[in-house]
Amino acid sequence: MGIWFTEKQTANFGITAKIKQTLAAVQTDYQELQMLETEEWGNMLVLDDMVMTTEKDEFVYHEMVAHVPLFTHPNPKKVLVVGGGDGGVIREVLKHKSVEKAVLVEIDGQVIEYSKKYLPTIAGTLDDDRVEVKVDDGFMYIAESERDFDVIMVDSTEPVGPAVNLFSQGFYAGIYKALKDDGIFVAQTDNPWFKADLIHQVYHDVSDIFPITNVYTANIPTYPSGLWTFTMGSKIHHPLKVKDERFTEIETKYYTPEIHTAAFALPRFVKDLLD
């Protein structure tokens, strides 16, 4: 029958994957970390029994976190990624030639360590000269920053454990302060099937702070329900008013200029969550 890993996404529903072997299983200072080699998805990073990323479908999430805000901003030079110790968002950020510096702030250094070892295609650019890696509390790092970044991306786990504070209105207010006058931020905001209340709350918390607030979606099969949302707050630039010439050619597997626009066309039940 083999060995299977199951993520219980609700009390009554989960997804399961057949594993070849457990590559690593450690209790860090913050969470339980597992690296699993799976039959279907390649190597898989699991934190506290929740799938964080897999080699097979990681590109969707990482591209959509990075490229939507980076193409919306006319000239992003300094970028902050909060969380994201696997390095996937940083990899995508570095595809933009205008970016001069990318700062990664990850609270759990062992996520970085094990991702470099077992997810090299994802974490392989963390040693790039343009990247500064800080093992630190993202909430506190934001609180101590002011008008420093063009774009901030919050690549967090679900709102449990050390990530709870990253879904608070106070955190979003800190992000607003940490952004330059034309800054943009984006955060992953879970799925509308099981976390409707979370999406509603985050959207309204961000709307209270940022004059331009939008939600967009992507299909990520190993995440709960497969339909994932991202919430963007912008001081000036609207993601649906990007000039065609802004979309320079970069190597992607999911993101395109057409997807950039289409991702903001929400299903009715998702749109209703924002009202």
Q: Which positions ≥6 away from 87 have C-beta within 8 Å?
A: 104, 112, 115, 116, 119, 122, 123, 124, 125, 126
Tell me: is residue 237 an annotated ligand-binding position.
no
DSSP letters spanning the chain = --EEEEEEEETTEEEEEEEEEEEEEEE-SSSEEEEEEETTTEEEEEETTEEEEETTTHHHHHHHHHHHHHHHSSS--EEEEEE-TT-HHHHHHTT-TT--EEEEEES-HHHHHHHHHH-HHHHTTTTSTTEEEEES-HHHHHHT--S-EEEEEEE--SSSGGGGGGGSHHHHHHHHHHEEEEEEEEEE---TTT-HHHHHHHHHHHHTT-SEEEEEEEE-TTSTTSEEEEEEEESS--TT---GGG------SS--HHHHHHTT---HHHHHHT-
How confident is the model over 54-78, as a mean pLDDT?
Answer: 98
Are 23 and 104 members of one domain? no
Q: Within this chain, do residues 19 and 97 fall inside the same structural domain, yes or no?
A: no
pTM of the predicted model, to two decimals? 0.95
* Mean pLDDT of all residues belonging to the chain: 95
Residues 216 and 166 in one domain: yes
Over range 180-193, report the average pLDDT. Answer: 97
pLDDT for the residue numbered 70? 98
Kindly list the distances between the CA atom of residue 30 and the CA atoms of 19, 137, 193, in Å, as whole numbers in the listed order: 25, 11, 28
158 is in an annotated binding site: yes
Residue 106 assigned to a binding site: yes
Instruction: Give the mean pLDDT of 170-182.
Output: 95
Let me know if 197 is a catalytic residue: no
Q: Same domain, yes or no, for 145 and 26?
A: no
Q: Does 156 carry a binding-site annotation?
A: yes
- Residues 37 and 96 occupy one common structural domain: no
Across the range 37-64, mean pLDDT stands at 98
Residue 23: give its domain's CATH number: 2.30.140.10
Active-site residue (options: 57, 155, 190, 205) = 155
* Whether residue 168 sits in one domain with residue 115: yes
* Residue 120 is assigned to a ligand binding site: no
Residue 160, pLDDT above cutoff 60: no
| Length reported for the chain | 275
Tell me what pLDDT residue 138 has.
Answer: 92
Q: How confident is the model over 228-247, as pLDDT tens digits?
A: 999 999 999 999 999 999 99
Whether residues 50 and 82 share a domain: the answer is: no
Q: 157 and 232 in one domain? A: yes
Domain final residue, candidates 11, 37, 54: 54
157 marked ligand binding residue = yes
Whichever domain contains 119, its CATH number is 3.40.50.150
pLDDT tens-digit map of 23-32: 999 999 999 9
Same domain, 117 and 239: yes
| Residue 137: closest CA among 178, 166, 174, 177 | 166
Q: Are residues 147 and 197 in the same domain?
A: yes
Q: How many domains would you assign to the chain?
A: 2
174 and 150 both lie in a single domain: yes
162 marked as binding residue: yes
Question: Does residue 150 share a domain with residue 77?
Answer: yes
Range(s) of the domain holding residue 15 = 3-54
Is 110 annotated in a binding site? The answer is no
